[in-house]
Amino acid sequence: MDVTLVEGVRRFNRTVTQRIGALDDAFLSRDRPLGQARLLWEIGADGCEVRELRSRLELDSGYLSRMLRGLETAGLVVVDTGGADARVRTARLTAAGLAERAELDRRADALAASILQPLNAGQRDRLVAAMAEVERLLVASMVDVAVVDERHPDAAHCIESYFAELTQRFGFDPARTIPADLTAYLVATLHGEPVGGAGLKLVDAGVGEVKRMWVSASVRGLGLGRRLLAEVEAAARGRGVRVVRLETNRTLVEAIALYLAAGYREVGAFNDEPYAHHWFEKVLEA
Amino acid sequence: MDVTLVEGVRRFNRTVTQRIGALDDAFLSRDRPLGQARLLWEIGADGCEVRELRSRLELDSGYLSRMLRGLETAGLVVVDTGGADARVRTARLTAAGLAERAELDRRADALAASILQPLNAGQRDRLVAAMAEVERLLVASMVDVAVVDERHPDAAHCIESYFAELTQRFGFDPARTIPADLTAYLVATLHGEPVGGAGLKLVDAGVGEVKRMWVSASVRGLGLGRRLLAEVEAAARGRGVRVVRLETNRTLVEAIALYLAAGYREVGAFNDEPYAHHWFEKVLEA
DNA sequence: CTAGTTCTCTGACTAAGGTCAGAGGATGGA
DNA sequence: TCCATCCTCTGACCTTAGTCAGAGAACTAG
């Protein structure tokens, strides 16, 4: 890894993360413990199930329970057993809790404004643009890619989403396509949620196919498609594959652009997939 | 303040600051309390006076003392009374402490590398560039500008630095220039240290002069000159000034460019400053 | 209906972070 | 020389953060 890049990230972490982070926490905790303030914020205007809070904030159930009791005695929150399942309890903000949260909101705005205030208009625009770029790329970097079995729930979710999108885009019918029979599926997750995937099917000796590649709309533009393609190629190479093939529908123009940019070249049909218009192939480098 | 800009800053704070901040802390504290780890880091390879640590980390003296004792019993630090003043004690890292710090350094590198690792080369470059931009602009935003008296130590520091720079750049001699006799001096500070300033001198009714404007080399390129000029104009306007004048030496090309960009136009000599080659004037808007 | 699981809560506990008052030596200015 | 101040340290104390074990009610699969 290039040393100057690493040094750049470290400088950023030192200056930005610590200084702005400390500011952020200081404003959030107005005479209330930071944990409770965060919790108040996270519950939100519409309330939130306790178990949802637990998983989102990654808190010990005892600890969370105690904090909720604290907010409850402060009159900011009520916890009731609302839904069908009487074990699950839901935390809701009272009027006072909503007011408190609105105050936090105002203070977060004020903090952001105070950062922008000393800058001139051009600097403000540049700062916000650079912040958005950093955020986007850090999110991209937080995406995890792992190899799972085709039947893994995350893989199933990706494949279903893939079918759903094709159905919506060009009237695809899952029953008519060639069954995939995948050797492996790569799942990309963000904060534990599957946001993309790509399947590898070993066909003949040294030949693999990329199938069921999908990227969630929520993470488009982060280069995830390119990354998945590269990782599936790496997985194929690790299994002795020399040539990777794939086919696609003509309406999927972004996918076609991706394949061409990744070094695939169009070849004649190598299968009779009813929905395919283009067939591609790439010889992997040793 | 534009709402979308504020929203952008808030998104950044949420996603980046908290997530990377938490990561940063987690790696830093390897089975040692975070406070002690930070302290170890801050002492540095060359040691550091205890009072310096106290002010840099803004710690209670008792608390700091206790943490130093902790590091001392762990064999990572020695605290001795080194210098001329026997009250002041200096913390130094032992060999074990240096090794520990080097390990922290390695881990910080690894953390940075792990952020870059999932990205492709183009994304890495863009991320680091955007991080540098964010950092630069946040530093610019942390600069404080305040009006002080000409004799304030910070003002004196700025004026001395100004003279020193002119001396170095074109053989300026402070004894030969027109005495300034300033009405007010604006000092820009970063983390409490003066990094720039500009003086205002009221001459005739409705006429002010900008004198002794200086920006430290450490913060060049952050738009501080432009900001100081704008703030000194605002201060002048608040004192009933309609026309701002200033003169400059021909070697100070950045300054001349700044004045022109800020709406100053060149006029005839309005004083007999021996080092001046250009005289500028700007009519302030109501 | 039963046995195992899920969800929340309480009690008991520990570590870390942080504050405050004051002791005691060292220094510096009148 | 003396008194106020500075620097560091100790003791006493408090809050926040976080962990662990287990109880008890509610649910679910067989």
CA-to-C1' span, A70 to C28 (A): 52
Could you give the maximum distance between any two Cα atoms of chain B, in Å? Answer: 72
Whole-number average pLDDT of chain A = 92
pLDDT in tens, A178-214: 888 899 999 999 987 899 999 999 998 899 999 999 9
Classify B184 as helix, strand or coil: strand
Protein footprint of strand C, defined by Cβ closer than 7 Å to any strand atom: A 49-51, 54, 61-62, 64-66, 68-69, 79, 85, 87-89; B 33-36, 59-63, 66, 84-87
Residues B22-69: pLDDT tens digits? 888 888 877 889 999 999 999 999 999 999 999 999 999 999 999 999
DSSP H or E segment with residue B266:
strand B265-267
- pLDDT exceeds cutoff 90 at B247: yes
At B159 the pLDDT is 93
Q: Which two tokens stand for residue A51?
A: 């178990």
In which residue are the tokens 């009779």 written? Answer: A272
- Residue B88: nearest nucleotide (C-alpha to C1'): D7
Q: Check residue B31 and give its pLDDT.
A: 82
Distance CA A49, CA A80 (A): 9
B103-125: per-residue pLDDT in tens? 999 999 999 999 999 999 999 99
Asked if pLDDT for residue A30 goes beyond 80, the answer is no
CB contact under 8 A, A134 and B131: yes
pLDDT at B286 over 80: no
- Contact across the interface for A127 and B137, Cβ inside 8 Å: yes
Q: For residue A188, give Cα distances in angstroms to A137, A158, A162, A228, A255.
A: 15, 9, 14, 8, 17
Residue range B237-249: average pLDDT?
95
* Closest residue, by C-alpha, to the C1' of C28: B85
Q: Measuring CA to CA, which residue among B210, B202, B254 is closest to residue B230? A: B210
pLDDT of residue A75 exceeding 80: yes
For the cut 80, the answer to whether the pLDDT of residue A267 exceeds it is yes
Interval A123-182: pLDDT, tens: 999 999 999 999 999 999 999 999 988 888 889 899 999 999 999 999 899 888 888 889
Nearest-by-Cβ selection for B143 from A109, A118, A132: A118
Q: From chain B, pick out residues whose CB is under 8 angstroms from the CB of A5.
A: 112, 116, 124-125, 128
Name the phi and psi angles at A201, rounded to 5. Answer: -120, 120
Q: CA B50 to CA B53: how far, in whole Å?
A: 5
Residues with Cβ within 8 Å of residue A26, at least 6 apart in sequence: none
Best CA proximity match to B212, nearest among B260, B285, B152, B263:
B152
* Cα–Cα distance, A45 to A93 (Å, whole number): 7
Query: A223 and B123: CB-CB below 8 Å?
Result: yes
Residue A217 in tokens: 């709309």
Q: What is the DSSP string of A225-263?
A: HHHHHHHHHHHHHHTT--EEEEEE-TT-HHHHHHHHHTT
Yes or no: domain B3-118 corresponds to CATH 1.10.150.310: no
What does the pLDDT read at residue A253? 95
- Is the pLDDT assigned to residue A23 strictly greater than 90? no
pLDDT of residue B2: 84
CB contact under 8 A, A141 and B116: yes
CATH for the A143-283 domain, from 3.40.50.620, 3.10.50.30, 3.40.630.30, 3.40.50.300: 3.40.630.30
Percent of chain B with pLDDT over 70: 100
**Location of structure tokens 């003949």:** A204
Instruction: Output the pLDDT for position A83.
Output: 76
Question: Which bases of strand C sit closer than 7 A to a protein CB?
Answer: 6-12, 15-22, 24-28
Burial category of B58 from C-beta neighbours within 10 Å (exposed 0-12, middle 13-18, buried 19 and up): exposed
Measure, in angstroms, how far nucleotide C17 C1' is from residue B206 CA. 56
Q: Determine phi and psi for A263, rounding to 5 degrees.
A: 95, 15
Distance B175 CA to D15 C1' (A): 60
Which of A54-63, B169-178, B270-279 is predicted least confidently? B169-178
The first and second tokens of residue A192, run together, are 């534990």
Nearest by CB to residue A128, choosing from B5, B112, B132, is B5
Provide CATH 1.10.10.10 ranges for chain A: 3-118
Task: Tell me the mean pLDDT in the region B205-210.
Answer: 93
Mean pLDDT across B165-172: 91
Tens digits of residue pLDDT in B226-236: 999 999 999 99
CA distance A60 to A35: 12
The alpha helices in B46-152, defined as continuous H runs, are 50-57, 61-73, 95-116, 121-142
Cβ under 8 Å to B: A residues 185-224: 223
